[in-house]
A and B are shown apart, each in its own frame.
Chain A
């Protein structure tokens, strides 16, 4: 079974700083998808960024980018120019084989606080 590990339970940075959240996963699959989701205090899950395992190029979405290392099974999220609105729980997630049910497996989460 796939597992996702986020080793940083909590992180805190100053506004405008850059922060990197770590995520590692374990799978025997070669094709899969990786996601970072954000859960603000409202508890609404919001997609931050998505990466296909077969793509070598790291995904980017404005201030958010990933460092995808397939051989190391690592998928970190970098937030540049952090903003107060980035304060939230961040979950790394793995989506299983393409032919399967495609359920998401989540990491434990990292609580990120952006301080003014």
Chain B
């Protein structure tokens, strides 16, 4: 069965509004989760590392005030796209890892369309 649940799978929102995407680890507690963005026909680009109980670590060039990450529990991380604009339209994927050197499990992804 699924190890990671990501919700919603698709969302359409109006420009200027905010959208929240949830990522749940179903099989184990995850102190660290990762958020990726994928443009059409391109690779996954790491946006940020979500740390339970502390601030997320953002990759260079990612606006932390636009992409708010909250890792409030060991099984849930949320990504909120604030004041969304059409250029934020993309496929967002979260992942979790069980431990050092282990494989990453991925959520089903969220297709965000900003109109």
Contact = CB atoms under 8 A, between A and B. Distances in A.
Asked whether A and B interact, the reply is: yes
Interface residues of A, number: 22
Interface residues of B, number: 22
Secondary structure call for the B interface: strand
B103 A47 contact: yes
A59 B95 CA distance: 23
A31 to B, nearest CB: 9
B106 interface: yes
Given A43-B109, A103-B34, A35 B44 contact: no
Interface of B: 32, 34, 38, 41-46, 49, 57, 91, 93, 95, 97, 100-101, 103-104, 106, 108-109
A107 B44 CA distance: 8
Interface stretch (A20-28, A63-71, A73-81, A94-102): A94-102
Contacts of B32: 101-102
A44 B109 contact: yes
B44 A108 contact: no
23 contacts: A35-B103, A35-B104, A43-B38, A43-B108, A44-B106, A44-B109, A45-B95, A47-B103, A52-B101, A91-B43, A98-B100, A98-B101, A102-B32, A102-B97, A102-B100, A103-B46, A103-B49, A104-B34, A104-B46, A105-B46, A106-B45, A108-B42, A111-B41
Contact of B44 (A42, A91, A101, A102): A91
Contacts of A102: 32, 97, 100-101
Contacts of B43: 91, 106-109
Given A98-B100, A101-B57, A106 B106 contact: no
